[in-house]
Structure 1
Amino acid sequence: MADKDIGFILKNTGMTLLSSVGGASGPLFGTFFIRAAQAANAKQSLDLAELQHMMQEGVEGVVMRGKAEPGDKTMCDAWWPVVGSLRQSAQQQLSVAQALQRAAECAQQAVEATIAMQARKGRASYLGERSIGHQDPGATSVMLMVKTLAEIAA
């Protein structure tokens, strides 16, 4: 895989998630990676603007598939602040490492914000008010991915 471009790696990751991870997270994360792959096609590296665009494309795919809206207590409640943070960091001409650190902090805050939300999408929505008081697992997964990217870029 070391000789493959970013788009190829992301597409293979997405296809693997789609075909082997059950529940909603497999198709949603699979879609994220496949859509992100299109934005990173044939690239060996990404600058911050390209990284932000790639993540934006991935998130748009997730939203299209899952129909999430802000406050639904989904992974998108973490993705949106991450993409917004990356956009702002690109405008401020921060380094990729600085931008990812800032995005990881936004993701952590977003996960914490899901604790007070009542789930309106996904399996957790069946719990109604009982979903309040627990962080969203999809948002937590997003935070962990962004945090890992930040650690690698540092």
Structure 2
Amino acid sequence: MNTQDIVSAVEAVQAAILANEAHIESLDRAIGDGDHFINVRRGCEAIVAMRPELSQLPPAAAFERIGMKLLSTIGGASGPLIASFFMSMGRELAGIEQPDTREFAQALAAGVEAIKKRGKADVGEKTMLDVLIPTSRLLQRLAAEGADRESLCMKIKQEAEANMLATRDMIATKGRAHFLGERALGHIDPGAKTSQVAVFAVCDMLTEGAAS
């Protein structure tokens, strides 16, 4: 994955997020803070606007620059979380001009771990990590096995979908939703839904690019 892939992935995520606006906002109104979609959209717009700058950078520097931009762009608690994700990916890829699948999987794992540490959350707490952690782990395993891109992306999408849907049956222990207790049951976590949408967008972008 080179920097052009990174920028294309962000553009794909932005388009997918906008296409799912009504669904994500309804989930956030039900159990979230009400500003989740606004923050995600603002972050995507900021990154896409950086295309000329990012295109001149190696992946590590691009991820670092994205993280710094999001830190000053996204409000609330989510800004530092998402910023730490990208900056940790950048640090993991330092010195690597064009990461292969294994290297990218390791960088993604580092980014997810940064969210986990900063947010003091883990799997089973009805957050974005319920999609990101298992998806990242599966990506590392499939990359180590040498899975082809099409098969890898298909399995990653299945994993993201299943874990997003699983948050419907969880009681939240983080964020505003944890104040709702059992009233949050039956609702998909908006962060998990956004993460699933992003995973699908990136996988589709990568497989369509490989097919063309």
**CA shift at 1:29, angstroms?**
1.2
Equivalent residues of 1:6, 1:42 under 8 A apart: no
Rounded to whole Å, the distance in 2 between the matches of 1:83 and 1:44 is: 21
Q: Secondary structure at the match of 1:77?
A: helix
The CA deviation string for residues 3-35 of structure 1, in whole angstroms up to 9 with x for no partner, is 211111111211122211122222211111111
Counterpart residue number, 1:150: 203
| 5+ residue gaps, structure 2 | 1-53, 208-212
Rounded to whole Å, the distance in 2 between the matches of 1:37 and 1:141 is: 22
**CA shift at 1:104, angstroms?**
2.1
The CA deviation string for residues 44-73 of structure 1, in whole angstroms up to 9 with x for no partner, is 322111111001100111111011122111
Equivalent of residue 43 in structure 1, options 75, 96, 103: 96
Aligned length: 154
Percent identity between the aligned chains?
33
Equivalent of residue 162 in structure 2, options 104, 109, 116: 109
Structure-1-length-normalised TM-score: 0.92
Rounded to whole Å, the distance in 2 between the matches of 1:97 and 1:3 is: 29
Equivalent of residue 89 in structure 1, options 131, 137, 142: 142
Rounded to whole Å, the distance in 1 between the matches of 2:149 and 2:69 is: 27
Q: Whose radius of gyration is greater, 1 or 2?
A: 2
1:79 to 2:135 alignment: no
Higher helix share: 2
CA RMSD of aligned residues (A): 1.5
Equivalent residues of 1:28, 1:66 under 8 A apart: yes
Equivalent residues of 1:39, 1:57 under 8 A apart: yes
Equivalent of residue 129 in structure 1, options 177, 182, 200: 182
**CA shift at 1:97, angstroms?**
4.3
**CA shift at 1:105, angstroms?**
1.8
Counterpart residue number, 2:87: 34
Higher RCO (Cα < 8 Å, 6 or more apart): 2
Counterpart residue number, 1:98: 151
**What letter is aligned with 2:143?**
A
**What letter is aligned with 2:181?**
G
